[in-house]
Structure 1
Amino acid sequence: MATFSFENIIAWQKAHQFVLRVYLITKQFPKDELFGLTSQFRRAAVSIEANIAEGYKKLGKADKLRFLNIAQGSLEECRDYIILSRDLQYIDEEQFQALRDGIEETSRLLNGYCNGILNNNGIADLDQNLRPNY
């Protein structure tokens, strides 16, 4: 029997790749941004994957979707930080495009995951079924 965890969720995998890219790119940001944009960007990126992971073990549809909606909010925050980083000239066009592509793919997959839950694809409402969804 295969073991399933949040790591099997493709949206989480893409979010994790995005976080790694954010950390790599923000290492080159000006040192005076360490407690500003660098910290905020990293925190928001980590929040995407962390909320997908946390939502995975929630029993009810509404609870799962609440965490995934938080992930979506953090994703949009990162989308803003990507634009801001470009406009402040902290990243070049190639880095901008790599971050933009990563956030777009993560967004598409996260939205698909949310839609799957909304459409009850393998997820039972807590009121209907009290078993964890593994």
Structure 2
Amino acid sequence: MDYQELEVWKETKDLVKLVYSFTNKFPATEQFGLILQIRRAAVSIPSNIAEGIGRMHTKETIQFLHISRGSLYELETQLLISNELFNLNGDEFNSILEKIKTCKRILNGFINYYKTLDA
């Protein structure tokens, strides 16, 4: 299976691009604080999907998909905190939250699919 063809990987990779654009608008004082944490969490989502697929063992793949899901929730929390701290652009912020919801739905579906392979 080629991870680059997976919808879940493509959607989470697109989320990374949105997050990078959005965090460019953060205060410069957060360059080594929240911006760095948010970007690391975002990048880890598609990265763990790719690593899991690369493991080529169902149980290991599922483990990495769960890590990816955890990073997705971490990212969401960090963005919610950032929005409360900095009162960022509402439309762009809401767009990212919608993308996160989409990624959660697709990732959960992919995890459930993978679990059927292990049955």
Shorter-chain TM-score range: over 0.9
When the two chains are superposed, the root-mean-square deviation of aligned CA atoms in Å is 1.4
In structure 2, the gaps of 5 or more residues are: none
Q: Among 31, 35, 39, which residue is 2:36 paired with?
A: 39
Cα distance between partner residues in 2 of 1:103 and 1:90: 19
Q: Look up the SS of the partner of 2:55 in the other structure.
A: coil
- Is the radius of gyration larger for structure 1 or structure 2? 1
Cα distance between partner residues in 1 of 2:88 and 2:51: 31
* Cross-structure match for 1:132: none
* Cross-structure match for 2:6: 9
Cα distance between partner residues in 1 of 2:115 and 2:87: 39
Cα distance between partner residues in 1 of 2:94 and 2:110: 24
* Greater share of helix: 2
* Cross-structure match for 1:67: 64
- Which runs of 4 or more aligned residues in structure 1 lie more than 6 Å from their structure 2 counterparts after TM superposition? none
Instruction: Note if 1:82 corresponds to 2:75.
Output: no
Instruction: Note if 1:21 corresponds to 2:18.
Output: yes
Q: How does 1:117-132 map to 2 (within 5 A)?
A: 117-120=114-117
Q: Cα distance, 1:45 vs. partner?
A: 0.2
Question: How many corresponding residue pairs?
Answer: 119
Cα distance between partner residues in 2 of 1:58 and 1:99: 30
Q: Among 36, 46, 55, which residue is 1:58 paired with?
A: 55
